[in-house]
């Protein structure tokens, strides 16, 4: 190795956590503000609108409910994949991480079905402010899901080689990826009622 | 989190599954409430309370915030403070001073 990044698998003496974990939390803090700005925009648009449709007038609550279950389940399998590494069970890690990636694809497939149905009915972001904010928020969230698939897919296949050489560092990577993934789940927990149920 | 003993991890795993069940139950509850004929204000309140409980469970247990180093907690307290400011922007917009500034700009 030409350059060694310090405190990547051992906690930094000042912060008490690895630099990697502190870094991902700061990134998530910026993500809170990114999505926060959109939630704020939603309130401004809704308060300022003369009429606001009930989400279910345009959107499918059953599909969104299914997607909520899918995402919550993927959060469980994600944390279980990390727990498997803590118990030195690499085979179990692979199983749970594989399930997480599959469930993430499941989420995107359901989202694709939903979007297609909207387009088929002629519902586009340009139609009204409700659809505009719906597509903006779920679109940005969908991109985050895609990002999670890329990272988790890497940790599932090529990246998992690291377990055999630097297990502590690898477990740290899985933990950081997990923190990101739970955040994506957390955003959906708020998006679901705000867009579909209220 | 620090290194864990096997028994400790077993206990954690039980908690994870319990939280999972709680999240599913709360999801069903929030959909159920939307079918009740309540006022919009009551409905928004109920939906937000349920979402906050679900979000807190994910953050505290899945993201290990219930047992995390101070530096991360402090960073998040700062984040939440500014998040609240963001949420208050729609209210601030109604203030006279902002209306005045708005007229100045346009």
Q: What does each C-alpha distance from A73 to A5, A107, A136, A157, B20 come to in angstroms?
A: 34, 11, 25, 21, 7
Q: Tens digits of per-residue pLDDT, A52-86?
A: 999 999 999 999 999 999 999 999 999 999 999 99
Q: Tens digits of per-residue pLDDT, A92-101?
A: 999 999 999 9
**A25: its two tokens:** 């939390």
**A130: its two tokens:** 């409700």
Distance from CA of B76 to the nearest CA of A (A): 7
Pick from A87, A185, A190: CB nearest B51: A190
Give the helix ranges, DSSP H, for chain B: 6-35, 40-57, 70-92, 96-105
Question: How far, rounded to the nearest angstrom, does the alpha carbon of residue A113 sit from its chain's CA centroid?
Answer: 19
Residues of A in contact with B9 (CB under 8 A): 83, 86-87
Enumerate residues 6+ apart whose C-beta is below 8 A from A98.
A156
What's the confidence (pLDDT) of residue A94? Answer: 98
What's the confidence (pLDDT) of residue A2? Answer: 58
**CB A103, CB A71: distance < 8 Å:** yes
Segment A15-26 mean pLDDT:
96
Confidence band, pLDDT 50/70/90 cuts, at residue B74: very high
Segment A106-120 mean pLDDT:
98
Which of A16-30, A183-197, B3-17 comes out lowest in average pLDDT? Answer: B3-17
**CB A182, CB A75: distance < 8 Å:** yes
Q: Tens digits of per-residue pLDDT, A125-171?
A: 999 999 999 999 999 999 999 999 999 999 999 999 999 999 999 99
What's the confidence (pLDDT) of residue B3? Answer: 58
Say whether pLDDT at A33 is over 80. Answer: yes
Cβ within 8 Å of A, B 38-67 = 40, 43-44, 47-48, 50-51, 54-55, 58-59, 62-63
Query: What is the complex's ipTM, to 2 decimals?
Result: 0.94
> Of B94, B67, B86, B83, whose CA–CA distance to B2 is shortest?
B67
Pick from B48, B62, B76: CB nearest A79: B62
Please state, for a pLDDT cut of 70, what percent of chain A lies above it: 98
Pick from A22, A75, A79: CB nearest B72: A22
Say how many Å lie between the first and final Cα of chain A, rounded: 54
What's the confidence (pLDDT) of residue B35? Answer: 86
What's the confidence (pLDDT) of residue A132? Answer: 97
Confidence band, pLDDT 50/70/90 cuts, at residue B9: very high
Q: Which residue has the tokens 């690898």?
A: A170
């Amino acid at each position: 190795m030409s350059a060694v990044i310090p405190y990547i698998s051992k906690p930094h003496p000042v912060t008490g956590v690895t630099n990697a974990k502190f870094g991902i939390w700061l990134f998530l803090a910026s993500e809170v503000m990114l999505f926060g700005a959109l939630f704020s925009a939603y309130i401004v648009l809704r308060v300022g609108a003369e009429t606001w449709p009930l989400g279910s007038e345009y959107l499918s609550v059953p599909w969104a409910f299914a997607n909520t279950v899918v995402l919550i389940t993927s959060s469980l399998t994600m944390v279980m994949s990390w727990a498997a590494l803590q118990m030195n069970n690499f085979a179990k890690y692979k199983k749970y991480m594989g399930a997480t990636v599959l469930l993430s694809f499941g989420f995107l497939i359901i989202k694709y079905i939903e979007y297609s149905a909207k387009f088929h009915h002629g519902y586009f972001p340009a139609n009204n402010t409700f659809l505009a904010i719906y597509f903006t928020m779920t679109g940005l969230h969908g991109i985050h899901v895609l990002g999670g698939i890329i990272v988790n897919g890497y940790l599932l296949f090529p990246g998992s080689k690291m377990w055999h050489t630097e297990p502590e560092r690898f477990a740290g990577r899985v933990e950081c990826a997990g923190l990101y993934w739970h955040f994506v789940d957390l955003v959906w927990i708020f998006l679901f009622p705000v867009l579909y149920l209220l | 989190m620090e290194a864990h003993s096997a028994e400790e991890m077993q206990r954690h795993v039980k908690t994870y599954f319990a939280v999972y069940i709680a999240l599913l139950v709360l999801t069903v509850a929030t959909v159920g409430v939307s079918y009740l004929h309540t006022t919009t204000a009551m409905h928004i309140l109920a939906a937000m309370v349920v979402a906050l409980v679900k979000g807190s469970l994910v953050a505290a247990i899945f993201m290990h915030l219930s047992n995390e180093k101070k530096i991360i907690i402090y960073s998040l307290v700062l984040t939440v403070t500014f998040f609240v400011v963001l949420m208050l922007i729609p209210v601030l917009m109604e203030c006279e001073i902002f209306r005045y500034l708005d007229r100045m700009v346009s």
